[in-house]
Amino acid sequence: MALYQFLCGSTMMIILLSRGCHSQQPVCGKAVLNTRIVGGEDAPPGSWPWQASLQNDGSHFCGGSLINDQWVLTAAHCVPFINLGTVVYLGLQSLPGLNLNAVSRHLSVVTSHPSYGLATNVNRFDNDLCLLKLSAPVSFTHYIQPICLAAENSTFNTGVESWITGFGITDNGTVANILQEVMVPIVGNNQCRCTYSDLTGNMMCAGVPAGGKDSCQADSGGPMVTKQGSTWIQSGVVSYGKGCGLPDIPGVYTRVSLYQEWISSVIAGSNQPGFVEYTSAGVDSDQFFECPTTAPPPPTTPDGGSVFDSGESMIHFFRFPSLCLLVISLYVLGGA
């Protein structure tokens, strides 16, 4: 499929007409309707206006985040389930029923990170990132806004409060009908490697020691965000984990700040996403963390209060809903 770029002419013209070449999108990371944050429950309409839902035949299978008026960031492991009929929804508050503030777009370009899936001696989930170009730009409203992306020098220390959102599996074992939100702190990579020995620097972790708050299947590709002042910044993309919401088992996210150059090169032109540097205060305690010499007891399912399903077996898995995987696989194999 042919791609077209608008070039502003000679260097002299770029200098003289620089105002016309700049992106006209509003400031990123603004959620006007986000008046309160509560982890582990239904998100009020418009609280997370960058949230995207990837769907096949009306079935949600992955999340994503709007980063400008025509591009969505998601996980590369969602790509095998994208087909010509895949639709991206923005401004969606619930999966069933009428969503007056929602818009939908098909896809014109799907670009996974070139190093995803190529590693032979490191974590096979490394570079789990993908950019989706929508078939047409979207107009921004209170319910549809782009998220800022963490710039390359950003630091997210242990304990930084972060929020994950999605339509993934909840504690009743089904895909959420209403967009869910939950707050989780960052877990430093040194500590996270006690659980995931093959964790790479391209990844980051988040979770609570008691468990019960986590991303889960069908949250794949969705955003993990942190607020700096009045601006929301995306630090991670939901990637994988061992189970969901298990004690001392954090979820793993692709570290967005390490991909600024790649994202900018793929999108190209003047309509670049907003990159904002996030700087954590103080010294990161994770640099002094050492894994316990004795193995902790096997984790158990938390008692009640779980936001996301925690009954999965202790294996690495992408965060898809198993039922949706079956439906999509049958759809693809059947050539429908």
Give the residue numbers annotated as catalytic, written as ranges: 77, 128, 220
- Side chain identity at residue 157, one-letter code: N
How many other C-beta atoms lie within 10 A of the C-beta of residue 125? Answer: 25
**Residue 118 CB-half CA count within 13 A:** 6
How many other C-beta atoms lie within 10 A of the C-beta of residue 175? Answer: 20
Burial class (CB in 10 A: 0-12, 13-18, 19+), 248: middle
CA distance 167 to 176: 5
Query: Is the Cα torsion angle 186, 189, 194, 199 positive or negative in sign?
Result: positive
Q: Which residue has the tokens 């600024």?
A: 260
CA distance 59 to 117: 26
Name the token pair of 31: 């959620």
CA distance 98 to 165: 20
CA distance 143 to 224: 18
Strands 107-112 and 203-206: unpaired
Angle at 244 between CA 239 and CA 250, to 5 degrees: 65
Q: Which residue has the tokens 């999605």?
A: 166
